[in-house]
Structure 1
């Protein structure tokens, strides 16, 4: 096939630069094809070269020469119980989609080698696809789940004790069969299975193992949460060596420990926390100066004084990375003797602290700061509830706390100044609802309410943010090694999708997707303020963001619009904060030498990476627990009706969030009045014949149809759709109508999923599993 001169020149240019990719306007600039006529010719030539497979388009819409070698990637596989998955292989690139049948024998969390088999044009809204070729490293050596025992006949014929219904992101087709070599657990108990034979390419759905631990019966109080901890490999007990070291730490301060510290015990210092909090790691003080400035003191428990580097407590804290907050319990990073004892800033007790004292002007700018070691004696242990009431004018409480009422008023003033400063510089403000699941003494959920955030909660947040920024800026300017909390520029492709999505609400995102400023995003959110769509659009924007992480490079914090940011204020529950305190100790003693800075920097890289992983593990465990408890809460509400909001639209249905934050699925196959097409660009479902539209933010009435505690899934049935204004979607509806009129087709049916082994197994676990049940159990090899 002969190419035109322009097509040949473009191809040669791209082939000479095989490692780069270009936007259309960059290629036009290179060839000086920037006029309207010439630009059209260039676009036509690029389209032709792509069609004949001479060049390819990246997921972000850029052009590059077609690669002649097989493209492979190594990354972390994230599985799904529907049989597909994703591979996270490059922080700068979207995840690779692994379709069903291409997963091989990979399990969730495995490090895999994969071949990229398809680059999809970004106009389709889909990313690149890959095929798993090889397992580089297995993530799990054990599986947690419910044991279902075989009867004697089945045990004799198969050689297995029974099977386990696994918890976690495993394919529904996976069979986990239990060898007789380990423990002999009770039927329907939650167990830990030590894996002996992993799935293979020949048998990707078969796994065998032996029971290493019996956690308890699935219906026993607390076993469900304990199972989640084991599922995520979160230790629930401290090693004996750690407890012994903690026990040896005195609960009173030695006078020698105060030497060299600034004594603040006579200053008016308070703590503000939740009523149930026991690990009080931050205290605050405030003085309004004659010139109108504020002197804010943020005093943080000096955990690093007690947790010395490479000690057993330190090693265990690093391994855990963070405390984990589940519905009915806290799994602490440090033993309670420290977290609730000598490190907790209890009232009327001398405590060692690291202080960050800031002078802040009326614009919220820190004009001076001082970072030092201190000793304090907190005067009041305040709760958010009481502080909010005092600020709202509760006369009885203002009299009871007359000594600090004026200071609290000034703290409120300063909070609004700092909040305004952050808004002016473009910080994003996400006010998405947070659920508080209330449980009884047996851990059973009895209510789900919105967690309230008053001025008291927000002022503490403002003061902690100010301290974190000040600490970060101080040591960045000195160019001394530090661990940072960073939030990077959003991924271009995700931001482009979000920009397209919000056009459905009549909002145009100003700015370029690859360099969008947080202030421009906030302006878009402000346009939807006080509308039914504000909350769900905020949630979609949040999903378009990068994950915040820890690193030893000062990349800044996009969401806060901050150039400098670290975590300094919670060393009891976060290891990076503890590390920051340790560095402050070093830097207050002496200026580090070049060699010392190199050594510190080398350690921080691994600590930051591990801390990010442990944080993600904790978040996943917390989400799993919330999903479990929400399913338990809704179990006795099957058949009841609730109002809710469409929170997400997918190719297989739409998720509805109830006003109490519980989320459930209305499957596409349940929408029987039409054949619904999924429009990914606008995230809507549209009926091909009726032009009915289901969209994010739409209010509906549902009936709870099914609840599965094992799967943490809730299914809804649509009862009624409330009127909504779809004028902004008229062009989409019109295109759909024209498409329907042009095509004559046989009636279509929405897809229905085939019942999986996991679903059959669950049915068996609820009844008996005697001979005659129609699912195959393979025999154990002798």
Structure 2
């Protein structure tokens, strides 16, 4: 079919071509009579795809270039939307009457109908829906006497789904269900569907996260053929695989991860040389030794491209038998690695490096908490005898400190290793800061679940310098590998983070002006250092969180590409992801490239480079797309649990800061990272005007102004875990003062 399409299109592109009827084209192309019907089908397909067009005389010609555009429709629950067209920065606005029934995520063909508006958006009209993004949806089922309907979790779907009596199956009222769409909504009629799976009652434990898995069509289980291949892989290192590898099994090497981590793909060690330099060894599990290119396991890994973490469960890229077994750098077990050995001077510069295939045996499986304890007490010394711990202080402490003492005692033989790691990590971090690496320091959310999976606490995730050690070491290894293979002109996957758009920087500067800050630099000379200087200036100030958040929103999203474009956020000319091949496909791809170069002693022919350059591009695109989905899922899972946690706190009052101001209200973030929306109607008795340039709300009567970063007192109005939405009400100053007076009067 594709070959026949090309023949027709090439014919219509010829300079001498004049519009012809279909039988005339067939005659010119010598189409046999027996193939004429098939020829008509190809013509019809090209016409339906708007590649060719027919005039009033039924004569065909090519559709002019750029007359129609392909893109992805991003719908809004109010009915309008935008289309993202590849290789275009600005999205195209589609009003409600021009959506042509397109739903969020659909691939569409559109035509531009108006030039750019004040928001820099062209306006378009959807001509054709090329393909639907979803044929199944998750939602809440409500049953009536002779029929039912499903309210989709995805509000951008815009309509409820009608379920006839014969298509209800075993669904009960208030069940979360998976519904197959039989008819899409059109002409103001609801969609129709059939329930194909009942997930459970809406309030049943685990149903919320299961709904998320079904909504995003995540591959929760591995195919049988993949698991059959896994069974063949032995859970012990084969002696033949050790041959010709650098043997580091006698070295003291450590993994440092979260306490609950089971897939341990990186281990580290640091030594100091006589000249004062450091030898940093970063040892990464050699997953490519077990996951062979083109195997069933590899194909499934590329399909998933990343592991997805949803609080109490993980959808892994690789089967757990591998990720937690032979590929995991478990303590006391021989494991195959790719090791990056770097010599680093006192300024944090990598002055030499090498990458080797190796075999290691991890000395100790450490966690961030224990390493932080060791570093804390190793720096709390009074005398030579009391080198690692002030015992007098320890005795005064209660149970928590006694536990710390046990940790110190347990790992006392290795403390010098971690002190050296801390020393080097500080040097590397300082070097990055001087380069202009952006340290946004935005708190992550930690959600505590009970044994049934219900949220019982939400708080900031506490990080220590132990986390920083691993981050700095991994960054350095990733940079070293990226730079090495860039100069080798190897087919590769880079982690790319480009310079922010000028318009966004200008918008940010309008806001920063209110605080006395500015991102300096000309249009063609924006450096990470300009952003880093602002981040340094706000350190420890009230506006730190808000400014950091807005800077993050200004930056572009990092992605994978086969072409190196540098990484703006870490102020690096070369960067890749090499250190997590258990959970990221680009890392696994890079491991294969490295292994091939090592096996061939860096003598690589052009055929290999050409073949793997194509594979690098395809793998990078797939990995970037799957990463977007993973981030959405992880974000949604947190939002669900935040809303769940707040459901029994309706009418509670809290202090917070205004984190964002929009045309429909303002968002307020609480100390524990929970964010809620205060709509205009919940701002009190006054009407507020949205100032888009200053990102403020101004009271029409009192001229009261709300800025991003202002402290406010709120009351929880509602929390809906299905909508993943929390609403607040603003407590007026008068009400707050009255409450304080009552408390004072009655000594509450």
TM-score of the pair, normalised by structure 2: 0.83
Cα shift at 1:540: 0.9
- Which segments of 5 or more consecutive residues in structure 2 lack a partner in the other structure? 1-63, 379-388, 390-404, 735-748
Contact 1:83–1:171 (Cα < 8 Å) also in 2: no
Preserved CA contact (<8 Å) 1:178 1:211: no
Question: Which residue of 639, 642, 659 corresponds with 1:627?
Answer: 639
Distance 1:72 1:257 in 2: 55
Q: What is the distance in 2 between the residues matched to 1:605 and 1:178?
A: 46
The residue aligned with 1:131 is 125
Cα distance 1:661–1:374, how it changes in 2: closer, same or farther (>3 A)? same
Q: Structure 2 matches for 1:279-298, cutoff 5 A? A: 279-298=263-282
Deviation at 1:80, TM superposition (A): 2.6
1:652 to 664, 674, 679: 664
1:529 aligned to which of 525, 539, 558: 539
State the match for 1:463 in structure 2. 473
Say whether residues 1:180 and 2:166 are aligned partners: yes
Q: Residue in 2 aligned with 1:191?
A: 177
2:166 match: secondary structure: coil
Contact 1:74/1:113 (8 A) holds in 2: yes
| 1:226 maps onto 2:210 in alignment | yes
Q: Find the counterpart in structure 2 of residue 252 from structure 1.
A: 236
2:521 aligned residue: 511
CA RMSD of aligned residues (A): 1.9
Contact 2:640-2:724 within 8 A present in 1 as well: yes
Alignment partner, residue 7 of structure 2: none
User: 1:174 Cα shift?
Assistant: 4.4
1:424-439 aligned within 5 A: 424-439=434-449
Q: CA deviation at 1:511?
A: 1.2
Q: Is the 8 A contact 1:678 1:684 kept in 2?
A: yes
Deviations 1:471-505 (A, max 9, x none): 11010001111111111111222222112221122
Q: Distance in 2 between matches of 1:90 and 1:334?
A: 31
Of 599, 604, 609, the match for 2:621? 609
1:222 and 1:443 in contact (8 A); partners too: yes
Query: What displacement does 1:514 show?
Result: 5.5
Residue pairs, 1:34-433, within 5 angstroms: 72-120=68-116, 124-125=118-119, 127-151=121-145, 155=146, 161-177=147-163, 180-181=166-167, 183-200=169-186, 202-203=187-188, 206-393=190-377, 395=389, 396=405, 397-433=407-443
The superposition leaves residues 540-592 of structure 1 with CA deviations (integer Å, 9 ceiling, x where unpaired) of 11111111111100111110111101100001111111111111111111122
Q: Work out whether residues 82 and 171 of structure 1, in 8 Å CA contact, stay in contact via their aligned partners in 2.
A: no
Cα 1:127–1:644 change in 2 (3 A) is farther
CA–CA separation in structure 1 for the residues paired with 2:107 and 2:210: 27
1:680 aligns with 2:664: no
Aligned length: 643
Mapped to 2, the partners of 1:169 and 1:186 lie a distance apart of 22
**1:671, distance to aligned residue in structure 2 (A):** 2.5
Question: For residue 670 of structure 1, what is the aligned residue in structure 2?
Answer: 682
Cα distance change on mapping 1:359 and 1:179 into 2, 3 Å: farther
Residue 560 to residue 459, structure 1, CA distance change in 2 (3 Å) = same
Question: Cα deviation per residue 1:324-380 (whole Å; 9 max; x = unaligned)?
Answer: 100211111111111111111111110111111111111111111110110000001
- Cα offset, 1:648, TM superposition: 0.6
8 A Cα contact 2:161 2:193, kept in partner: no
Task: Say if 2:716 is the partner of 1:716.
Answer: no
The answer on whether the counterparts of 2:90 and 2:120 sit within 8 Å (CA) in structure 1 is no
* 8 Å CA contact retained: 1:495, 1:513: no
Residue 71 of structure 1 deviates from its aligned partner by 6.2
Q: 8 Å contact 1:493–1:513 — kept in the other structure?
A: no
Aligned to 2:495: 485
Q: Does 1:584 align with 2:594?
A: yes
Deviations 1:399-454 (A, max 9, x none): 43222211111111111111111111111111111101110111100001111111
Q: Which runs of 5+ in 1 are unaligned?
A: 1-67, 156-160, 723-782
Partners of 1:270 and 1:381 within 8 A in 2:
yes
SS at match of 1:105: coil
CA drift of 1:92 comes to 4.6
1:191-218 CA-to-partner distances (Å, cap 9, x unmatched) read 2212221233x24x52122122222222
Q: Alpha-carbon deviation of 1:468?
A: 0.5
Q: What is the aligned counterpart of 1:565 among 560, 569, 575? A: 575
C-alpha distance in 2, partners of 1:103/1:635?
36
The offset of 1:180, in angstroms, is: 2.5
Alpha-carbon offset, residue 100 of structure 1: 3.9
Aligned to 2:30: none
Say if 2:684 and 2:730, in contact at 8 Å, map to a contact too.
no
Are residues 1:452 and 2:462 paired? Answer: yes
Q: Distance in 2 between matches of 1:178 and 1:619?
A: 36
In 2, distance between residues paired with 1:182 and 1:574?
Answer: 40
TM-score (norm. length: structure 1)? 0.80
Give secondary structure in 2 for the equivalent of 1:392: helix
Q: How does 1:687-766 map to 2 (within 5 A)?
A: 687-720=699-732
Task: Give 1:508 shift.
Answer: 2.5
Q: How far apart, in 1, do the equivalents of 2:667 and 2:661 lie?
A: 6
The whole-number CA distance in structure 2 between the counterparts of 1:585 and 1:311 is: 17
Q: How far 1:649 moved relative to its partner?
A: 0.2
Distance in 1, matches of 2:149 and 2:281, equals: 58
Per-residue CA deviations over 1:613-644 (Å, capped at 9, x if unaligned) read 10100111111111111110000000100011
Determine if the alignment matches structure 1 residue 501 to structure 2 residue 519: no
Following superposition, the deviation at residue 126 of structure 1 comes to 5.5
Question: In structure 1, what is the Cα distance between the partners aligned to 2:518 and 2:625?
Answer: 36
Runs of 4+ in 1 over 6 A off after TM superposition: 68-71
Q: For residues 669 and 540 of structure 1, do their structure 2 counterparts lie closer, same or farther at Cα, with a shift above 3 Å needed?
A: same
Separation in 2 of the partners of 1:301 and 1:182?
49
Task: Name which of structure 1's ranges 278-287 and 703-712 shifts more when overlaid on structure 2.
Answer: 703-712
Residue 457 of structure 1: how far off its partner (Å): 0.3
> Is the 2:135–2:180 Cα contact (8 Å) retained in structure 1?
yes
Secondary structure at the counterpart of residue 703 of structure 1: strand
SS at match of 2:560: strand
CA contact (8 A) 1:179 1:208 kept: no
- The worse-fitting range, judged by mean Cα deviation, of 518-527 and 254-263 is 518-527
